[in-house]
Amino acid sequence: MNILLIDDHALFAKSLEIVLEDAPEIDRFTTLQNPSEAAPQIRLLHPDILLLDINLDTISDEDGIALASRLKKEFPRLKLVFLTGYDLPVYRHAAEKLGACGFLNKNLDPGKLLESLIQINRGIPLFSRADETIEELTETEAKILQLLSEGYKRKAIAQMLSSSERTISNHIQHIFDKLDVSSSLEAVTKSIKLGYIRPSYHKK
């Protein structure tokens, strides 16, 4: 297998390269920490699998989901696999939706990771599953949650989204129903756990 890894943690990427490059199933293992070079490297190396993390904050303005979506359009046959510590329902759903072949936790031991990559390369999709599943939030609901987490009140959110305060209140009630909570604080806390509010959003 020819593997290309995009990850913002150099130590993790190098450690994984050292562990996997000697496996007989691995023909080449290349690490990349400049996402802007992803497309040229894919054209050059023709990887069987592209491994990438969700959170690429230190090396890119876009997260792994956005990067993968862009690359998938350019290389539709490329096997995309997320290898991440952000093992959250919203990310797994997004990965499946964009056509990824796998979603793996970084805590997998090297042997199980290699076994998973072999299966994926054979055409068997692998997605880890969390016990908790909820009805998917809409893009507007996720945006409202983000703004709630940043401390904005309903009136301010309505102005920012060019909507009425009543409409925002209706959206928030739908959010409560979907998350099975009864307050904005509970909604924000649970949405962080589920991944609807991404780490990069917690910046004032």
The answer on 108 and 50 residing in a single domain is yes
The answer on 29 and 107 residing in a single domain is yes
The answer on 158 and 57 residing in a single domain is no
Q: Kindly tell me if the per-residue pLDDT of 13 is higher than 70.
A: yes
Q: Kindly tell me if the per-residue pLDDT of 141 is higher than 50.
A: yes
The answer on 105 and 151 residing in a single domain is no
Q: Kindly tell me if the per-residue pLDDT of 114 is higher than 60.
A: yes
- pLDDT tens digits for range 150-198: 889 999 999 999 999 999 999 999 999 888 889 988 888 888 777 777 6
The answer on 38 and 121 residing in a single domain is yes
Q: Kindly tell me if the per-residue pLDDT of 139 is higher than 90.
A: no
Residues in the chain, total: 204
Choice among 50-64, 88-102, 126-140 with the minimum mean pLDDT: 126-140
22: domain CATH number? 3.40.50.2300
What's the pLDDT score for residue 179? 85
In a domain, 134, yes or no: no
Rounded to the nearest integer, the mean pLDDT of the chain is 88
The answer on 102 and 29 residing in a single domain is yes
Q: Last residue of some domain: 62, 95, 127?
A: 127
Look up the pTM and report it: 0.68
Instruction: Tell me the two tokens of residue 78.
Output: 């490329």
The answer on 109 and 145 residing in a single domain is no
In a domain, 50, yes or no: yes
What amino acid occupies position 32? L
The answer on 157 and 114 residing in a single domain is no
Instruction: Tell me the two tokens of residue 134.
Output: 């909820």
Q: Kindly tell me if the per-residue pLDDT of 133 is higher than 70.
A: no
Query: Taking the alpha carbons of 187, 189, 193, 198 in that order, is the dihedral positive or negative?
Result: positive
158: domain CATH number? 1.10.10.10
What's the pLDDT score for residue 124? 93
Q: Last residue of some domain: 97, 127, 157?
A: 127
Beta 28-32 vs 49-52: how paired, if at all? unpaired
The answer on 152 and 96 residing in a single domain is no
The answer on 177 and 93 residing in a single domain is no
What's the pLDDT score for residue 131? 46
Q: Which domain holds residue 54?
A: 2-127
Distances (CA, A) of 198 to 80, 109, 154: 21, 26, 21
In a domain, 185, yes or no: yes
**Continuous H helices in 53-203:** 64-74, 89-98, 110-121, 139-149, 154-160, 165-179, 184-194
Distances (CA, A) of 99 to 20, 68, 92, 121: 25, 9, 11, 14
The answer on 114 and 61 residing in a single domain is yes
Q: Kindly tell me if the per-residue pLDDT of 202 is higher than 50.
A: no
* Higher per-residue confidence, 142 vs 136: 142
- pLDDT tens digits for range 22-73: 899 999 999 999 999 999 999 999 999 999 999 888 888 888 999 999 999 9
The answer on 74 and 114 residing in a single domain is yes
Q: Using the structure block, give the residue that is written with the tokens 């016990």.
A: 131
DSSP 84: E
What amino acid occupies position 103? F
| Helical packing angle, 184-194 and 165-179, nearest 10° | 60
Choice among 26-30, 92-96, 116-120 with the minimum mean pLDDT: 92-96
Please choose, from the candidates 45, 152, 97, the residue with its C-alpha nearest in 3D space to the C-alpha of residue 6.
45
What's the pLDDT score for residue 198? 61
What amino acid occupies position 67? L
